[in-house]
Amino acid sequence: MKIQIVNDYQQLSEVAANLVAGQVILNNNPVLGLATGSTPEGMYHRLVQMCRNGVLDFSNTTTFNLDEYLGLSPDHPQSYHFYMYRHFFHLVNVPPQNIHLPPGLDSDPSQACRLYDRKISEAGGINLQILGIGVNGHIGFNEPHNYLKTGTHLVELEEETVEANSRFFDSPEEVPRRAITMGMRGIMQAEKIVLLASGENKARAMKEATCGKISTRVPASFLQLHRNAIFIVDREAAALL
């Protein structure tokens, strides 16, 4: 695991976009694992610019998103589907059939989880996984617990996560309590992992994830075991390192 400390959010976004761009340029059929949330917005913005300038071509790229709220339709403004199309997919040339997100509305979510993992395998696995980190150390929606799950699965969100995400909703009551997330196996099997952390509210999670014991109470701490994981951290998030 490597940690790169950058000055601010601008630099973090630039470094992250460059890492994704490198993957897309070098690989004939890149498979990207993608995250939502505030942190990668700047990265997506830069990738869109590169695509528009003709520097990047996503026509051979396949994507798998980490997670989605359960119960939100793709056109719900707070769904992760909506976020991804608004910030990225509507603005670049990833072929629609290559875009995958866990379904928020499926009559059989457990079956949908199994199918999602199968599709990742059939695509040959993820070459580059982008991650954010929750204030409680979650990655995807793998929440702190006394055990972690391997495959894509349904999850009850922790109160801390619901509270952190309520900033996107009109009221905390509207934040869905359940989600579908890729599991720890899906994340850890990615060839390369890039975790992004920005802002002082991530400092404690960053410290626990990188300097603490590997623990299911801090899911991001498992990234210490990954051969090719890099944490891009701005100064505020790195304050306790």
Radius of gyration of the chain (CA): 17
Q: How far is the CB of 233 from ligand F6R (least distance, A)?
A: 13
Q: Quick check: 220 binds ligand F6R (CB under 6 A)?
A: no
- The yes-or-no answer on residue 234 being catalytic is no
Q: How far is the CB of 94 from ligand F6R (least distance, A)?
A: 17
Q: Quick check: 139 binds ligand F6R (CB under 6 A)?
A: yes
- The yes-or-no answer on residue 117 being catalytic is no
Residue nearest to ligand F6R (CB): 132
Question: Which residue from 62, 151, 68 is spatially nearest to 115, judged by alpha carbons?
Answer: 151
Of 65, 127, 136, 142, the active-site residue reads 136
SS3 per-residue string spanning the chain: CEEEEECCHHHHHHHHHHHHHHHHHHCCCCEEEECCCCCCHHHHHHHHHHHHCCCCCCCCCEEEECEEECCCCCCCCCCHHHHHHHHHHCCCCCCHHHEECCCCCCCCHHHHHHHHHHHHHHCCCCCEEEECCCCCCCECCECCCCCCCCCCEEEECCHHHHHHHHHHCCCHHHCCCEEEECCHHHHHCCCEEEEEECCHHHHHHHHHHHHCCCECCEHHHHHHHCCCEEEEEECCCCCCC
Q: Quick check: 39 binds ligand F6R (CB under 6 A)?
A: yes
- The yes-or-no answer on residue 138 being catalytic is yes
Q: Quick check: 35 binds ligand F6R (CB under 6 A)?
A: yes
- The yes-or-no answer on residue 7 being catalytic is no
Q: Quick check: 183 binds ligand F6R (CB under 6 A)?
A: no
Site string for ligand F6R, 104-133 (x = CB under 6 A): ----------------------------xx
> In this complex, which beta carbon is closest to ligand F6R, that of residue 5 or of residue 107?
5
Q: Quick check: 33 binds ligand F6R (CB under 6 A)?
A: no
Single out the residue of 37, 42, 137, 186 in contact with ligand F6R (rule: CB under 6 A): 37
Single out the residue of 33, 42, 134, 144 in contact with ligand F6R (rule: CB under 6 A): 134
Of 143, 158, 208, 234, the active-site residue reads 143
Residue 188 sits at φ, ψ, to 5 deg, of -70, -20
CA angle 33, 219, 203 (to 5 degrees): 95
Single out the residue of 36, 63, 98, 127 in contact with ligand F6R (rule: CB under 6 A): 36
Q: How big is the chain, counted in residues?
A: 241
Footprint (CB under 6 A) of ligand F6R, residues 63-82: 66-67, 80
Residues near ligand F6R, by CB under 6 A = 35-39, 66-67, 80, 132-134, 138-140
Catalytic residues: 67, 136, 138, 143
